[in-house]
Structure 1
Amino acid sequence: MMTSRISGSVVLCLGLAPLASGCVDGGEGASPLDPPAAVEPQAVYGNSLSSQALTRNALITNRAANSIMVNEPLATETYSDTSTIEALHHQLHHGPTREVMDYLVSCALDPTQTVSYDDTLTGESYTFTGELGLCPGWASGPASVECQEQVSACLLLRVNALKKKVAISMRGEVPGAPPGTGPTALLYPEPAVSTVDYEEDVEQIASFAPCATATSGAARNCGWKADHVGRCRPGERVYIGAGARPPSKCGNLLFPVLGSSTGNTVLRVCEGIHGCNSTTPTFIAQSGASCGSNRPALEFTCPEGGYFSVMSGPQSSGGAGVASPAIRDQATAVYPAPELAVFLWPEGAFYGNLWGPGALNPSIPASANRVKADGNFVEAPPVAGSVFRRAFACTGRFWTRQEAYMTDRICAGGGADCAATWVGACDVSNSNAPSCPPVHRCTVTDGTVVSGDGDFGNCDGDARKWQYPISVYLNNPMDIVDDPALAETTGAPWAPLAPLCF
C-alpha cells in the first residue's frame, strides 16, 4: 500500500474538449536509455492525488520544466534549490508540487530509490520514496518515451476528486514482454491481498499504530498488524484461528486446530477489505484466547459484502507473538483471497503522455505555474477543457452513466482545468446495436502477459493507439464516486452484458 509521506491536496479532471491533432511523443531529446519495465505494473495501491495539484504544479504544468524534467535524472540534485537548472530549482517549495513529486517518484522509482528536497526558504526537509518501479532508470538518466507513458498513466489513475484515499488494483502490461522478468516483477497479480491499514479519510487506522504504553488483550486499538483479506458467501459461517479451535468447537476433537502462532497472540476480523478498531461499525469479532489455550480462534457470519479482513498481533503490544491465521477448509470461503478475486469491477483505463512539446494546453502562459525566487507561486488562469492535451481515460463496461461517472471520478465537477479527456467506454462494442454510436476504445481487453486479469490495451486517443495504458479495478463500484446514481451498474463482473448506448 502507498503511504503518503507528505501532506497536501490535489484533484484530476477529465475534460471533454477535443485534443489538438498531430501528437508528438515524448520530450525533445529524450533517449531510450531506460526501456519500459518488462512486467505487468499490477498491484493494490492507494490513490489520493488531487487534480488541483496535478493541474496546477510548478513542474509538469510549467512549460519550461515540463520539457526539461524528462531529460534529467529524477534525483535529489536535479530538484535541489541549488540546482543549476533554473526551471527546476525552488519549484518544490510549492506544497502541491511536492505532492505531485511524491506520486511521481512513487510511480517511477522502485522502493530502494528516493529523492530528497531541502527547502532553503523554510528549512523543512522532505523525502519521496519509490514504490512501483515503472521507470527506475530515470533516477540516473532521461526517461524514455515508453516510461513517460507508463508514469503518465500511473499519475492519472491515482487522482481522486473526492480527496479520499481509496485502495485500487492497477493492471497493465508492456506489449510482448515475457512474464516474470524485469525489476518490477513484484507488481504481478498478488495471490493474497493485504488488509488495508487506512480509511478513505484516515491516513492510518489507529489500531495499526504502535501503543504509547504497554497494552494487552484483543480489545486494544493499537499495536496490531495487517494480515489479509478473505472472501466468503454472505450469511455462511466462517471459522478462523491462529493455533486453536473456535470456542463453540472446544469439545469437538474432530474439528481441526486452525492456523498457528509463535507465542501468545490475538486476532480481529472486520467487514470489508479495511482493518478496524474494536469500536467501529465494521468490527465483527476478536479473540485473545480460545479453548483454554493462549492462542486465538473465533467464528463469524460472512457479511453482506462477501469480504472480511483479518488483523493480528502479540497478546501484549510489543511482544514476540506472531500469528499465522487460517480458516477451516470450505468450498465457498477463501483466505487469503487473491487480488483478482477481491477487485472485480473494471473502472476503466488511463493512458497518454503528460510531457513533451504540445503536452500542455496552449492557453497556459509560459510565465505561469512556477515558484519565484521569493517563494510565491504564480498560478495560471483557468483553462477551458483539458490542461494536458495527450491524456485520456476510458470507462469499464458496467457503469450505466459512463460520462457522468468519469466526470465525477476525476473532474470534481465542471469542464475546466481538466487533466485528461474522457473518450468513452474501453471495451463495449455496439455492433449489435446499430442505433448506438461506436464507443469501443481499446482493441485489447485482456493482455497476454497475465491471462484473465482484464487489462486493456491498444487504446484510442488523439488519432493514435496507445500501448501502455494502466487499468483500474475496484472492490466496490461506490469506492471512487460519492453519488450512488453514478455508481449504478448493469450486470456483474462475471455476467455477460447486452450492448448499451451511452
Structure 2
Amino acid sequence: MTVRSQSRLLRTLALGALGFTLLGGCEPYPVDDAEPMRASQESDIKIANSLSTAALVFNGISTNAQANLLMRTNALSTLFNNTSTADGNFIRNQLTDPNARQFMKYLVGCALSSSQTLPWQSSGGHSGVWMGGAGLCTQWRDIPPSAACMRQVSACILARNNAVNRRVELSVRGAHLDGTAFSLEEAPLLVEYDPDVPTTDMPIQSFNACATPTVGGERDCGWIKDRIGTCTPNSWVRLGAGSMAQDTSGLCTGPVLGKNKDIRAVLRVCSGIAGCDDEGPRFVAKSTGVCSPVQNPSVSFQCPASGYFNVMMAPWNSTESLGLLYVGEDSTAQNAAYPVSEAQAFRIREGAFYGNLFTRGVAAEVTVIPSKTGRGDGAREITHSLMSGSVYPQMYVCHDPGWVQGAAYATHRVCAIPDMGANCAAKLVGSCQAPTTGCGTFDAPPVTGDGDYDDCKDPDLTTWSEPVTVYLNGPCDLMPAGQVNLCKRHFP
C-alpha cells in the first residue's frame, strides 16, 4: 500500500508527445528495522519487496516450532508487548535474531492496517515499533488469527520475498477476506528508493530536505515526487508546467503546456518508475525554465528503452514552497501518457503465491541461544541449514505462463540457493494456468480485468482460496544480474 500525498498543493503535470513526423514513435531501533511500506486506504495494495529469502527461510519466528505455534494461537499484542509471561519472554529472546525481526516487520506490514502499530522489544536490547500497512488480518493484533487470516498473510509475506537484496515495488492483486478487491491506484507516485542498490530503506538523496538554502535544478535535495508515465521507446516526449513546449532541437515552438502559479519551478525526468539524482544512472532530462515565461519549466526528451519515465519537481529556491502546477495534454500526443495508473505501470503478471507459513512440520528449526551479556544478538543454531526443496510444507508458488522458463524463474524467486533448488520458501507447482494443477480462476471477482488468480491448487490438488497475484513493472525486476534468460517472456 502506498501513501497518497495529501497536501494543499495540486501537483499535476500533463504531457505532450512529439509525433512521428518529428522522430519516430527502549533503545531506538535500528534503521533496518523500519517498516518501508506506507499505506493509504485499507483496500489499496502496492507494496515493496525486500524481505530476503534467507530471512524468510531461516528465522527465529516462523522456523522455530515453539514460536510458530505461539504465533498461530495468540494475538500479536499478547506476544510482543508482554514481558511478564514465559511465552512473552521466549518471543523476546527469539527477536535477538535479526532475521526474526525482519520477518516480523513484513508480517505486521501485511497483517495490520496503516492505523495499527505493534511495539516490540528483544532481550538483546533492541526495541521499536512495527507499522501496519496492507490490513489483511487486522484482528490479529488483538485476538488469535483465523486460518484464513494466516493463509492470506502468508501469501503476502511470500510475495514480498526476494533473493536479490534490492527493494522492488510490486503491485499485488487479490481480494480481502470480506470479498472486497485490492484496489489499484489511479495515478501512483514515483518510487523514492533506488532499486539498483542493496536494500537500505533510505530514500534517494534528492528527496531529502536541503540542509542549507539552495537554488537551481542541479541540486540533489528538496525535490518532490510526482507521477509515472509511459512512452514508446526512442520517441520524443515533451512535458511542461506553464511553458511553451520545446521541439527536438530545444527550440520553443510548441504550445504552452499547462499553468504554473506563484513561483519559479524546476523539473527533472528519470527513466523507469523510481526517481533519480542529477546526472545519475536513471537521469534523463531536466528543465530550469527555458521557454517563455522562463519561470515555468518545460522539457523534451527521448523515451527510455524501458518505455517508462517519471517526473520530479521542486521550487527553484529550496526555501520556497510550490504553488499550483497544472498542465493540459498536448492534443497531438499519440505515443505517451502521463500520468498512468498502477495497472499501466505494473503490467507483467508474475504468478500467484499461496499457502500457510504457520503450521506444524516446518523442515528446519532455528534456535536462538540467549546472550550471556543480555545485550546484542544471540547466536543461532539451525538444523538442516542446507536442504533440498521447501522448508515450509504448505507454501506454494505457481508461475504465469508468460515466462519462457517459468520453472527456473520461480525457483530463483523463492529459493535461497536456486541453482541447487535448496532452502526454498515454497514448493513449485508449475504454471498457474495448467489444466489440472493450476488455478481455477485467471481473473477472479469481484473486479473484472485486474487479472488475479484464485482457487489455486497444490501438488496434492488441494485448492487454496487466498492467493495473492503479483504484477511487476519490468520482467527482470526480481532476477539477479546476469540472469536475463530467466526474464524472457512469451507475451507481456
| TM-score (normalised: structure 1) | 0.81
> Deviations for 1:103-161, whole angstroms, at most 9, x for unmatched residues?
01111111111112234533x43221111111111111111111111110011011111
Find the counterpart in structure 2 of residue 280 from structure 1: 280
CA distance 1:210–1:424, change in 2 (3 Å)? same
1:157-306 correspondence to structure 2 within 5 Å: 157-174=159-176, 177-178=179-180, 187-200=182-195, 201=197, 203-247=202-246, 255-290=255-290, 291-306=292-307
Q: CA deviation at 1:340?
A: 1.1
Query: Residue type matched to 2:32 in 1?
Result: S
Query: Residue type matched to 1:49 in 2?
Result: L
Find the counterpart in structure 2 of residue 427 from structure 1: 433
Which whole-Å CA distance do the structure 2 matches of 1:158 and 1:44 have between them?
11
> Deviations for 1:60-113, whole angstroms, at most 9, x for unmatched residues?
111011111122222276355555425423221211111011101111111111
Find the counterpart in structure 2 of residue 152 from structure 1: 154
Query: Residue type matched to 2:185 in 1?
Result: E
Q: Does 1:7 align with 2:6?
A: no
Q: CA deviation at 1:261?
A: 4.7
Find the counterpart in structure 2 of residue 458 from structure 1: 455
Query: Residue type matched to 1:111 in 2?
Result: S
Worse-superposed segment, 132-141 or 66-75: 66-75
Verify the 8 A CA contact 2:80 2:121 in the aligned structure 1. no
Secondary structure of 2:408's aligned partner: helix
Find the counterpart in structure 2 of residue 36 from structure 1: none
Query: Residue type matched to 2:155 in 1?
Result: A
Find the counterpart in structure 2 of residue 312 from structure 1: 313
Which whole-Å CA distance do the structure 2 matches of 1:371 and 1:173 have between them?
40
Secondary structure of 2:158's aligned partner: helix
Which whole-Å CA distance do the structure 2 matches of 1:325 and 1:392 have between them?
47
Q: CA deviation at 1:396?
A: 0.7
Find the counterpart in structure 2 of residue 402 from structure 1: 406
Find the counterpart in structure 1 of residue 91 from structure 2: 88
Which whole-Å CA distance do the structure 2 matches of 1:207 and 1:83 have between them?
47
> Deviations for 1:210-241, whole angstroms, at most 9, x for unmatched residues?
22222111111111121110012223332212
Which whole-Å CA distance do the structure 2 matches of 1:399 and 1:129 have between them?
34
Q: CA deviation at 1:5?
A: 7.5
Which whole-Å CA distance do the structure 2 matches of 1:425 and 1:5 have between them?
40
Verify the 8 A CA contact 1:205 1:277 in the aligned structure 2. yes
Which whole-Å CA distance do the structure 2 matches of 1:83 and 1:318 have between them?
52
| TM-score (normalised: structure 2) | 0.82
CA distance 1:83–1:319, change in 2 (3 Å)? farther
CA distance 1:266–1:104, change in 2 (3 Å)? same
Q: After TM superposition, where is structure 1 displaced by more than 6 Å over at least 4 residues in a row? A: 1-5
Verify the 8 A CA contact 1:41 1:172 in the aligned structure 2. no
1:104-143 correspondence to structure 2 within 5 Å: 104-122=107-125, 124-143=126-145
Q: CA deviation at 1:260?
A: 3.5
> Deviations for 1:36-83, whole angstroms, at most 9, x for unmatched residues?
xxx996532211111211121111111011111122222276355555
Which whole-Å CA distance do the structure 1 matches of 2:319 and 2:120 have between them?
34
Worse-superposed segment, 195-204 or 70-79: 70-79
Which whole-Å CA distance do the structure 2 matches of 1:441 and 1:325 have between them?
47
Sequence identity percentage:
34
Query: Residue type matched to 1:47 in 2?
Result: N
Query: Residue type matched to 1:339 in 2?
Result: E
Secondary structure of 1:472's aligned partner: strand
Verify the 8 A CA contact 1:43 1:189 in the aligned structure 2. yes
Find the counterpart in structure 2 of residue 337 from structure 1: 340
> Deviations for 1:166-211, whole angstroms, at most 9, x for unmatched residues?
11111112477256xxxxxxx5111112211112225421111222
CA distance 1:118–1:65, change in 2 (3 Å)? closer
Query: Would you say how many aligned residue pairs link Structure 1 and Structure 2?
Result: 440
Of 65, 68, 75, the residue aligned with 1:66 is 68
Find the counterpart in structure 2 of residue 432 from structure 1: none
| Structure 1 residue runs without a partner (length 5+) | 10-38, 180-186, 430-437, 494-502
Which whole-Å CA distance do the structure 2 matches of 1:134 and 1:99 have between them?
19
Verify the 8 A CA contact 1:40 1:171 in the aligned structure 2. no
CA distance 1:415–1:101, change in 2 (3 Å)? same
Secondary structure of 2:76's aligned partner: coil
Which whole-Å CA distance do the structure 2 matches of 1:84 and 1:323 have between them?
58
Which whole-Å CA distance do the structure 1 matches of 2:165 and 2:78 have between them?
28
Which whole-Å CA distance do the structure 1 matches of 2:261 and 2:99 have between them?
45
Which whole-Å CA distance do the structure 2 matches of 1:342 and 1:428 have between them?
27
Verify the 8 A CA contact 1:265 1:323 in the aligned structure 2. no
Q: Does 1:388 align with 2:383?
A: no
CA distance 1:261–1:188, change in 2 (3 Å)? farther
CA distance 1:428–1:464, change in 2 (3 Å)? closer
Secondary structure of 1:54's aligned partner: helix
Secondary structure of 1:369's aligned partner: strand
Query: Residue type matched to 1:333 in 2?
Result: A
Which whole-Å CA distance do the structure 2 matches of 1:352 and 1:41 have between them?
21
| Structure 2 residue runs without a partner (length 5+) | 4-28, 35-40, 373-377
Greater percentage in strand: 2
Q: CA deviation at 1:356?
A: 2.7
Query: Residue type matched to 1:401 in 2?
Result: Q
> Deviations for 1:422-458, whole angstroms, at most 9, x for unmatched residues?
10011244xxxxxxxx6x5101000112211110000
Which whole-Å CA distance do the structure 2 matches of 1:322 and 1:380 have between them?
60
Structure 1 vs Structure 2 CA RMSD = 2.7
> Deviations for 1:228-256, whole angstroms, at most 9, x for unmatched residues?
1001222333221223223559876x823
Verify the 8 A CA contact 2:262 2:323 in the aligned structure 1. yes
Find the counterpart in structure 1 of residue 438 from structure 2: 441
Query: Residue type matched to 1:89 in 2?
Result: R
Find the counterpart in structure 2 of residue 28 from structure 1: none
CA distance 1:353–1:485, change in 2 (3 Å)? same
